[in-house]
């Protein structure tokens, strides 16, 4: 399933509304650490392995599209 993801830095939130996930992260957007944290939080929420979560667009943006394979 595809989701649009809005990233908020220095926040601790996780909300799903329709096909949009608003997620707060603490990692800095350096060396893919922020994307790793996003993937980890989404995988944990949906109880799937991290390998089942893929960022399909927006890898360097605050707005991303993520594919979650169930």
Average pLDDT over residues 4-19: 96
pTM: 0.94
What are the Cα distances from residue 47, in Å, to 1, 28, 30, 68, 69?
14, 25, 26, 11, 11
Average pLDDT over residues 58-69: 97
Q: What is the CATH number of domain 2-68?
A: 3.30.1200.10
SS (H, E, C) 8-19: EECCCCEEEECC
| pLDDT tens by residue, 13-53 | 999 999 999 999 999 889 999 999 999 999 999 999 999 99
Domain ranges of the chain: 2-68
Amino acid 9: pLDDT? 93
């Amino acid at each position: 399933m595809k989701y649009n993801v809005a990233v908020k830095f220095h926040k601790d939130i996780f909300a799903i509304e329709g096909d949009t996930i608003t997620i707060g992260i603490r990692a800095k957007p350096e060396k893919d650490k922020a994307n790793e944290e996003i993937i980890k939080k989404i995988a944990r929420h949906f109880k799937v392995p991290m390998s089942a979560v893929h960022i399909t667009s927006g890898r360097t943006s605050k707005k991303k599209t993520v594919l979650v394979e169930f």
